[in-house]
Structure 1
Amino acid sequence: MGSYSTTVEVQMVRFYQSLNERDRRRYAAIEAIKLGHGGIEFISQLLACNPKTIRRGIAELESEHLNADHQRKKGADAHR
């Protein structure tokens, strides 16, 4: 498994934090896939996200349903 410089890791975390929930899953999934074996654990720790979230992102990327129209709006559940 490859490794990143500290500078790149900081940039990855900043970028990840700027994304919405769905895009975070997918970004983490892509980075984990690029690393191969051990990638899910490494990215999970780096981005402080659950490995299940990354696995869900991988499943989404592997499916053909990358529809942007089904994004949950921020605070959408607040009116329940």
Structure 2
Amino acid sequence: MKPYTEEIERLMTTMFCRLSEKDRRRYAAVEAHKLGWGGKEYISKLLGIDSRTICQGLVDLKEMQELAPGRIRRPGGGRKSIINAMPELESIFF
């Protein structure tokens, strides 16, 4: 299977190298999904990644669809407020 020209493959690998780890997984997953049968193997070899990485990218994409529009993370993520850990600070600062 060789659905892309050498020029397109070069552009894909160049772009892939400039993405964050999460975006790499997602990009590889989208490309493999577009190709259908044999796509995971082709993209895996082209981009030099494990096929399990592509599978994780597919999971990531599914989770992205479940997020509310405009959100990057699920609610509840990130650092918790220090006020929650030390309620006495609220009376000092507020």
Give the TM-score category using the shorter length. Answer: 0.7 to 0.9
Task: Map Cα deviations across residues 2-34 of structure 1 (whole Å, 9 max, x no partner).
Answer: 600000000000000000100000000000000
In structure 1, the residue matched to 2:55 is 55
Post-superposition, which runs of at least 4 consecutive aligned residues in structure 1 deviate over 4 A?
none
In structure 2, the residue matched to 1:75 is none
- How far 1:62 sits from its partner (Å)? 1.7
**TM-score (norm: length of structure 1):** 0.78
CA RMSD of aligned residues (A): 2.0
In structure 1, the residue matched to 2:91 is none
Larger radius of gyration: 2
**TM-score (norm: length of structure 2):** 0.67
The structure in which a higher percent of residues are helix is: 1
> Aligned partners of 1:34 and 1:12: how far apart in 2?
14
> Aligned partners of 2:59 and 2:26: how far apart in 1?
9
> Aligned partners of 1:57 and 1:35: how far apart in 2?
15
Using the aligned pairs only, state the percent identity: 43
- Provide structure 2 residue ranges, at least 5 long, that are not aligned to the other structure: 75-94
- Provide structure 1 residue ranges, at least 5 long, that are not aligned to the other structure: 71-80
Greater relative CO, 1 or 2 (CA 8 Å, sep 6+):
1
Task: Map Cα deviations across residues 20-73 of structure 1 (whole Å, 9 max, x no partner).
Answer: 100000000000000000100100000000100000000111222495358xxx
Count residues in correspondence.
70
Question: Residues 40 and 61 (structure 1 numbering): CA distance in 2 closer, same or farther, change over 3 Å?
Answer: same
Mapping 1:1-80, distance limit 5 Å: 3-63=3-63, 64-65=66-67, 68-69=72-73
